[in-house]
Structure 1
Amino acid sequence: MTDASPFADPKNLDDKIEETARFAPKFGADGLLPVVATEAGTGRLLMLAYMNEAALAKTIETGEAWYWSRSRGELWRKGATSGHVQKIAEIRTDCDQDAIELVVEQTGPACHTNRKSCFYRIVVSADKLKMKD
């Protein structure tokens, strides 16, 4: 986190991290936080992505999902090119604040393959997948 971080520093909490009412996300050594997006209403898992501090701050500020692209090394707004925007219904953090769940209203498919979810294959065996959608 930067010195100008809008988030509480997890090292400076008075309460245990599991019981605090302060938002103090623990970004990894790479500066990233894993994020799952689930569909509001159904709870369906849509995708897994990563956020850096800037992506998390923009998500909170705009009410739309922003992520950090590890492959492109840049910030991106979900749906910027496809139009398949994720509107935030709720942002949740896990017990030790090192992962985020975005509960979203998904416009169109979540996956870049044009499927509703990125989790569209079932592992049948060590070397075989089965398509679900």
Structure 2
Amino acid sequence: MTASPSALAPEIAARLKKDPAGLVTAVVQDAGDDRVLMVGWMDEEALHRTLTTGLATYWSRSRQEYWVKGETSGHLQYVRSLALDCDGDTLLLRVDQLGPACHRGTPTCFDGGDLPARVLDPSERPA
């Protein structure tokens, strides 16, 4: 990642619990229908860019560079809200998604089918 210091406000940076690579998970949800669209990664600089531009910006672990979602495809994510979870290690972005969210051209990255999890009937759940 970048060697230069981030412009992220120190009070926000202090709340982040980053992994050893300096990243936090970013869960992206459609602001209109609440679908989970994708998961990305942010460091302090990506979060700063997202907060200041209103466009979702991530750190690409494979390409080792920053990317604005939709910058080349036109499938932008306009940020409606951004929250940090109670542990400080996950961000929740609620976005207006322009076009498909997945790089494969599907509306969401979570279209791989349900896994065969046992679903408890309400009568089986502990009180």
**Residue matched to 2:10:** 7
Asked if 2 retains the 8 angstrom alpha-carbon contact of 1:110 and 1:117, the reply is yes
Which structure has the highest strand share of the two?
1
> For 1:19-38, what aligned pairs fall within 5 Å after superposition?
24-38=15-29
Q: What is the deviation of 1:3?
A: 7.8
Asked if 1 retains the 8 angstrom alpha-carbon contact of 2:7 and 2:45, the reply is no
Q: What is the deviation of 1:6?
A: 1.7
Structure 1: any 5+ residue segments left out of the alignment? 11-23, 126-133
Identical pairs, percent: 42
Q: When the two structures are superposed, what TM-score results if normalisation uses the length of structure 2?
A: 0.81
Asked if 2 retains the 8 angstrom alpha-carbon contact of 1:92 and 1:100, the reply is yes
Structure 2 distance, partners of 1:123, 1:41, is 23
Q: What is the deviation of 1:25?
A: 1.6
Q: What is the deviation of 1:40?
A: 0.4
Structure 2 distance, partners of 1:106, 1:54, is 22
SS in 2 for 1:101: strand
Asked if 2 retains the 8 angstrom alpha-carbon contact of 1:7 and 1:25, the reply is no
CA displacement, residues 78-109 of structure 1 (integer Å, 9 cap, x when unaligned) = 00110000000000111111100100000000
Letter in 1 for 2:64: G
> For 1:31-110, what aligned pairs fall within 5 Å after superposition?
31-110=22-101
SS in 1 for 2:72: coil
**Residue matched to 2:102:** 111
Query: Could you list the runs of 4 or more consecutive aligned residues of structure 1 that deviate by over 4 angstroms after TM superposition?
Result: 2-5
Structure 2: any 5+ residue segments left out of the alignment? 117-127
Letter in 2 for 1:51: M
Q: When the two structures are superposed, what TM-score results if normalisation uses the length of structure 1?
A: 0.78
Q: CA RMSD in A?
A: 1.8
Residues 122 and 64 of structure 1, relative CA distance in 2, 3 Å threshold: same
